[in-house]
Amino acid sequence: MTNKVSVFILAYNSEDRIERAVKSVLWADEVVVVDSFSKDRTAEIAEELGAKVAQVKFEGFGKLRLAGIEHTSHDWIFSLDSDEECTPEAEKEIREIINSENPAEAYHTPRRNFFMGQPVRFSGWYPDYRQPQLFQRGKMTYPAEELVHEGYRLDGRLGYMKYDIFQEPFMTISEIINKCNRYTSLGAEELSKKGRSGGVVIGMVHGVAHFVQIYFFKLGIFDGGPGLMISICKGLGSFLKYAKLGEINRKSAAMG
């Protein structure tokens, strides 16, 4: 008996990339796009390709991924973001894993990132694991309270896939700046709930440290222009997150 796999894809205003993501997993037994009421043709394109679409209000990425589990039906689940693409090699490996005799309960999937027209070899972007992307239903969950860079809780063994999927997180420099602004606001809000301190000086320390870490210690210098851009944006993101946190804390103190 061949085991079945569901795929859920998180998307928002992704009409320029959702087709590539969905087409890359049409081999699966079920494809669900978890859309947060996009204002473009994301949902329409996904439905035209044969995917189901579940509209879920954005209240943090943890809740979105939980919704992905809720709206799928098979025992194995593979999660994808709209800027990711499953490769034929990864597809074959997934099929082999889910039909093997004693698979782990969840698997990390290596991601090969592309930025500014070229693959990124260093800069902390390879193999660039996020939460395990292939897992058995009921064995892994996500913390609902986490707004961004959500973690996971696993009941069982963790394995590692061999073959890459592809990711193109930013198609333009403007996009990386816009995403940085959005994610730093969410990150600041999350840190505020944890009672952390922020401000411009703290942000500067974190920003410089993050730039040095990516550009030198994670060898971003060898990725040329993309490596420098990634390092700058990572440093800027750290700075903005703590600067925005300081702003949140000042407003909270003023309100008593």
Same domain, 187 and 140: no
Say whether pLDDT at 228 is over 90. yes
3-state secondary structure at position 158: strand
**Cα gap 38→78, rounded to integer Å:** 22
Amino acid at 105: E
Amino acid at 103: P
Phi, psi of 71 (to 5 degrees): -90, 5
Which tens digits make up the pLDDT trace of 83-133?
999 999 999 999 999 999 999 999 999 999 999 999 999 999 999 999 999
Residue range 165-186: mean pLDDT, rounded: 93
The per-residue b/e assignment along 19-50, b for 16 or more CB within 10 angstroms, e otherwise, is: bebbebbeebebbbbbbbebeeebbebbeeee
What is the per-residue pLDDT for 145? Answer: 86
Residue range 230-252: mean pLDDT, rounded: 96
Same domain, 32 and 128: yes
The percent of residues above 70 in pLDDT, for the chain, comes to: 100
Q: Which domain holds residue 226?
A: 173-254
Report the predicted TM-score, pTM, of the whole model to 2 decimal places. 0.89
Q: Of 109, 140, 167, which closes a domain?
A: 167
Q: Of 102, 132, 167, which closes a domain?
A: 167
Say whether pLDDT at 178 is over 80. yes
Token couple for 62: 């943890």
What is the per-residue pLDDT for 148? Answer: 80
What is the per-residue pLDDT for 140? Answer: 98
